[in-house]
Structure 1
Amino acid sequence: MSAPDLVVIGGGPVGLACAIEARLDGMDVLVVEPRSGPIDKACGEGLMPGALAALHRIGVDPQGHPLAGIAYVDGSSRVEHRFAERPGRGVRRTVLHSALEARAEQLGARRAEGRVVGLDQQRDRVRITLADDTVLDTPWAIAADGLHSPVRRLLGLERRPQVESRRRFGVRRHYAIAPWSDLVEVHWSPLAEAYVTPVDEHTVGIAVLGRRPLDQEAVLASLPALASRLDGAETVGSTRGAGPLLQRARSRASGRTLLAGDASGYVDALTGEGMRVGFSQARAAVAAVRAGDTEQYERAWRATTRDFRMLTSGLVIAARSRFRSRIVPTAAARPELFGSIVERLSR
C-alpha cells in the first residue's frame, strides 16, 4: 500500500467528511476504521440547516424528513422557532453514514479496516501502528475517532474527566410512528430532556439526555403528552447509548496529528448542532493540512465552536441549577430571544 497524503483515523460522519474534503482538494487519503457497514450511534439525528448546507457543498444529500425548526416543551409551556432561511433535515444516523461513505468511495478515498494502537510523531511524518501490526506512514493524520478518542489519549491530550455527579449521558431509540410535527421537539422533564426528531415518514427518533441512571421509559412516563403520542408504538432496532458527554482536549493538534469532531472536545448535545460543528472542523482541518499549519486549525476550531461552547455550556449550567424549571417558561415569554439563539446555532 503506497503512503497516502493523509490518514483519517475514524470512519464516522466527521471522518468521512474529512476524507471527502481531502479528495476534493486532490489528496490521496486513507480512512482507517475498525468497524464495517453503516455505523450507528446514540444521537438526536437532526441536521440543522447549516449542517445540511455543509453536506450539499461536498456532494452529499441524505434522505430523511424535513425539519422546519425547534420547539421547547415543558408541561403547559411551549415555544417554537421556525428556521428563517432554509429547513434542516432529520436523518437516521445509518442513512447519513451510508451517504457519506458512498461519496467518499466515489471520489476515490481508500479504506482500511483496523484499530490504531500506536502513534509515533516524527519530524516530517506520522507513523501509525494498527492492532494487526500493520504500520502506516503518512505526512499528516486527522483523528475523528469519537467521543472517547483513543488517539486523543495516545497523544496525551485528554484533560481531567468531569466529576461523576455532573456527568450526563444519552440514550436513543426509534419508534415506528408517523411524525406528528416537522419540528424537533425538546421535552423537558425535571431531570432529563427528550429530543424527538422525525427521521422519515414512518419513524421518529427519541434521544433522552440526563444523568445516570438514565431510564428512558421512566423519563417518557414523566412526560404525559409525549407518552400519549407514543402509546402503542413499536420500537425499531436497538437502543443506543453514549456518554459521558462532556469531553475536553488540551489542544486540537499535536505534531502532525489533528483532532476533529467529538475527538477534539465536546460539551453536550443540548443545542443539537454537533454535526454542523463537526463538518466545519473537517473543512478547517483539511485546509490546515494543505497549508502545513496546525495553528491555523486551532484558530479555526475556536472560531467554529465558540457559539456552541458558550451557549451550550450556559444552558447546561442552567439545566443543573434551581432555575431548570424556568428555562422553557422564560423562553416562551421571550420568543424573539429564543428564536435568535436557534438561528445563530443552526447556521
Structure 2
Amino acid sequence: MRTFNVLVIGGGPVGMAAAIEARLSGLSAGIIEQRAGTVDKACGEGLMPGALPLLERLGVTPVGRDLVGVTYRSGDHSVTHRFSSGSGMGMRRTILHDALRSRANELGVIFVEDSLQTLRSHEKHVVVDCQGGESIRGDYLIGADGLHSTVSRQAGLFREVSVGRTKRYGIRQHFQIAPWSEFIEVYYTKYAEVYITPVSNDQVGVAVLGPRATDFEATIASLPELAARLEGAAPSSQRSGAGSFPQLTAARTKGRVLLVGDASGYVDAITGEGLRLGFAQARAAVECIVLGQPQMYELRWRQVSRDFRVLTRGLITLANSPLRMAIVPLASRFPSLFGFIVNRLAR
C-alpha cells in the first residue's frame, strides 16, 4: 500500500498548493485527482493582491494581466477603488493550474489519477479506497475536492443548507478582445452581478453570478455599455458553470482529516477572493500537520477566513434584500467605507 505523510484529495489549485506546502515542509505528498491534464473551472480568475505572495512562497510565478483595483457599476452610479496593497493579477485558470502542476512535479508530489470511493479514518492514519481498486494511506488527509466535496461528506463534516436559503450559481465565458480597463469591473443588475476580468492582453473573462435561472446572454444585454463593448467579440472558451453557493460544513477538521478551499465551506463568490483564501488555508493546514496538532486547524481556519466570512455574508444579505440596487449608490456615496471593504478582502 502506498503511503504518504500528506494525502490530498483534489488536484485543483488549492489542493496542489497544499501538496507543495507539504513538500516544502519536508513531508511526502500525494494527490488523488480523477481528471487528467489541465483542470479548468468556472471562476472570476482574478487573483487579489494577497494571493500573489502566497504563490511566490510556493515558487510559483504564473504570467497574467495586472489588476490595479475594482470598479462597481449600477445604472448611472459607479465607484472605483485602487488596491492599496499592490496589484492583483488576472489569468486563465488553466495557466495557474499548469504553473502549480509544474512546481508540484518539480518537488516530487505524486499524482494518482483516480477518485475517492471510501474514506476510512484510524487513530494514526487515514486510508482512501479508490474507485480503481487501489488503497492509499496517509498520515493525514487534506480534502480539497471543491464545493461538492466527497471528503466532507464521508468525514461527517458536511452540513445541509436550509431549504429556504437562496442559492446562487456562476456562469463564465471568455471573449477575444483587448481589455479596456486595468480594473476588475463588477456590474450590478436587479438579480445578478457580472464580473469582467482582464486575463491577458487580448482576452477578458466574463462571469455572471446569480440565481439558478440566470440567463447569461440576457444579463449581458441588460447592460448597454457592456453589451456594446462585447459586441462582435468572438468567444474564446466554452461557457461553463459553477455552484451552488453557499456550501456549508459543521467543522473543518476531524481526527486526521482537514478541509481546505471550497471543500471547507464557501459563502459566495461575490467578493472574488476564493483562491487567496484557499492558499492561506492550505498553508495553515500543513503548519498544523507539521506541529502534529491537526485540531489547531479549526482555529487557524477561522482566523484566516474571518474577514471573508463576515464581509461576504454582509454583502450577500444586502444583495438578497430590497436594498440590493442601493449597494453601488451607497458605495459611491461612502467611498472610504467601500475602499476599506475592498482592502480588507484584497490584502
Which residue number in structure 1 is paired with residue 229 of structure 2? 229
Which residue number in structure 2 is paired with residue 11 of structure 1? 11
Q: Say if 2:132 is the partner of 1:128.
A: no
> 1: distance between equivalents of 2:160 and 2:4?
34
Counterpart of 2:141, as a letter, is A
> 2: distance between equivalents of 1:221 and 1:341?
29
Matches within 5 A, 1:128-277: 128-163=128-163, 166-277=166-277
**Is contact 1:162–1:246 with CA below 8 Å preserved after alignment?**
no
* SS of equivalent residue, structure 1 residue 243: strand
> 1: distance between equivalents of 2:307 and 2:3?
38
**Is contact 2:2–2:136 with CA below 8 Å preserved after alignment?**
no
Counterpart of 1:105, as a letter, is N
Which TM-score applies when normalising by structure 1? 0.98
**Is contact 2:139–2:256 with CA below 8 Å preserved after alignment?**
yes
> 2: distance between equivalents of 1:154 and 1:84?
42
> 2: distance between equivalents of 1:64 and 1:264?
28
Q: Which ranges in structure 2 are unaligned for 5 or more consecutive residues?
A: none
Counterpart of 2:27, as a letter, is M
- Pairwise CA distance, 1:255: 1.5
> 2: distance between equivalents of 1:25 and 1:218?
49
**Is contact 1:14–1:260 with CA below 8 Å preserved after alignment?**
yes
Which residue number in structure 1 is paired with residue 52 of structure 2? 52
Matches within 5 A, 1:35-114: 35-114=35-114
Give CA-to-partner distance per residue, 1:271-293, whole Å, 9 cap, x none. Answer: 11111110000000101111121
> 1: distance between equivalents of 2:291 and 2:321?
44
- Pairwise CA distance, 1:165: 6.2
> 2: distance between equivalents of 1:183 and 1:228?
18
- Pairwise CA distance, 1:231: 0.6
Give CA-to-partner distance per residue, 1:250-269, whole Å, 9 cap, x none. Answer: 11011111110000000001
> 1: distance between equivalents of 2:214 and 2:237?
19
- Pairwise CA distance, 1:162: 3.9
What percent of counterpart residues are identical? 50
* SS of equivalent residue, structure 2 residue 86: coil
Counterpart of 1:203, as a letter, is Q
* SS of equivalent residue, structure 2 residue 156: coil
- Pairwise CA distance, 1:156: 1.6
Which residue number in structure 1 is paired with residue 299 of structure 2? 299
> 1: distance between equivalents of 2:52 and 2:214?
30
Q: 1:153 to 1:2 in 2, by over 3 A?
A: closer
Q: 1:165 to 1:259 in 2, by over 3 A?
A: closer
- Pairwise CA distance, 1:294: 2.1
Instruction: Tell me which moved more, 9-18 or 132-141.
Output: 132-141
* SS of equivalent residue, structure 1 residue 314: helix
Counterpart of 1:343, as a letter, is N
**Is contact 1:143–1:259 with CA below 8 Å preserved after alignment?**
yes
- Pairwise CA distance, 1:2: 4.0
Counterpart of 2:30, as a letter, is L
**Is contact 1:23–1:29 with CA below 8 Å preserved after alignment?**
yes
- Pairwise CA distance, 1:163: 2.6
Give CA-to-partner distance per residue, 1:75-119, whole Å, 9 cap, x none. Answer: 111101011131000011101100011011111111111100101
**Is contact 2:64–2:90 with CA below 8 Å preserved after alignment?**
yes
> 2: distance between equivalents of 1:165 and 1:339?
29
* SS of equivalent residue, structure 2 residue 275: helix
Counterpart of 2:300, as a letter, is A
* SS of equivalent residue, structure 1 residue 166: coil
* SS of equivalent residue, structure 1 residue 279: helix
Counterpart of 1:141, as a letter, is L
**Is contact 1:271–1:312 with CA below 8 Å preserved after alignment?**
yes
